[in-house]
Structure 1
Amino acid sequence: MTGKRCWRANNMPTEFFMPMKKPPTITHQQKQVTIVNDKPVFYEPDELKAARAMLMAHLGQHAPKRAYVGPVRLLVKWCFPLKGQHQDGEYKATKPDIDNSQKLLFDCMTACGYWKDDALVASLIAEKFWAALPGIYIRIEEL
């Protein structure tokens, strides 16, 4: 299919900002395990459940009318509340690790119908900042 584009579900990028007092810092990897009948059972601690619920509530307000069906570029800007001497817009080079932050966000976006599978994210730009207005900025565009 050189030179031709596939049919597109969404012609316009999806772009929004979700203001929140503090973006979630707990990661999907922080699931817990317990043993029941000599078998491991994984569960989400309360903090992870709360973070998932908060993201689902915010993301649900901005879900596209039709799910993306082809490859997309996802831009995510994690904006954390200002602390100490940090300036608005300054890159945040401290925990949480940015790669760990993406999984819970992707899972919630999938559950909200942004796409059928987050494997469609072919290009990812993720950044962390200190910000006067904390929250998460998201932009999705078809490739």
Structure 2
Amino acid sequence: MPTEFFMPMKKVPTITHQQKQITVVNGKPVFYEPEELKAARAKLMAHLGQHVPAKKYSGPIRLMVKWCFPIKGKHQDGEWKSTKPDTDNLQKLLKDCMTDCGYWKDDALVASEIVEKFWAELPGIYIRIEEL
């Protein structure tokens, strides 16, 4: 049985996982998350935490994600969004959060991935996970 849900959000997190920062402590490089990335992670974890499946996925899965961004300018509801951020950048933080929440053992189980971006009157993130 697939896991399927929509997380309505007035502002969809667009900061990317790649935006980690680096500093030097005692002569050694140390990576850290800036506040904006920590806030985006916390927001995703809070929303995702409400939909964790009773049993972790353990085999190959298909992950479908529809990113629905608040309409700006002359865009229409359901129109494709072909501007930044890139889908691959959006997915990284989301999948890391899903792993941390316990959706699956490892996001390497995602063998098929469908990612789409739209302008939407109801912004948020639609997620569907199915076993392959």
TM-score (norm 2): 0.99
Residue aligned with 2:4, SS: strand
Larger Rg: 1
Name the amino acid aligned to 2:36: E
Q: Which runs of 4+ in 1 moved over 6 A?
A: none
Name the amino acid aligned to 2:91: Q
Structure 1 position 22, deviation (Å): 1.3
Q: In structure 1, list runs of 5 or more residues that go unmatched.
A: 1-11
> How high is the sequence identity, in percent, across the aligned residues?
82
User: Which residue of 2 is the match for residue 69 of structure 1?
Assistant: 58
Specify which of 121, 130, 143 is matched with residue 119 of structure 2.
Answer: 130
Name the amino acid aligned to 1:48: L
Structure 1 position 114, deviation (Å): 0.3
Residue aligned with 1:61, SS: helix
Structure 1 position 90, deviation (Å): 0.3
Residue aligned with 1:100, SS: helix
How do 1:1-143 and structure 2 match up within 5 A? 12-143=1-132
The count of aligned residue pairs is 132
Residue aligned with 1:106, SS: helix
Name the amino acid aligned to 2:125: I
Alpha-carbon separation, structure 1, partners of 2:35 and 2:10: 18
Name the amino acid aligned to 2:108: A
Q: In structure 2, list runs of 5 or more residues that go unmatched.
A: none
Alpha-carbon separation, structure 1, partners of 2:83 and 2:120: 14
Alpha-carbon separation, structure 1, partners of 2:26 and 2:42: 30
Name the amino acid aligned to 2:52: A
Root-mean-square deviation over aligned CA pairs? 0.4
Structure 1 position 89, deviation (Å): 0.2
Name the amino acid aligned to 2:5: F
Alpha-carbon separation, structure 1, partners of 2:45 and 2:64: 18
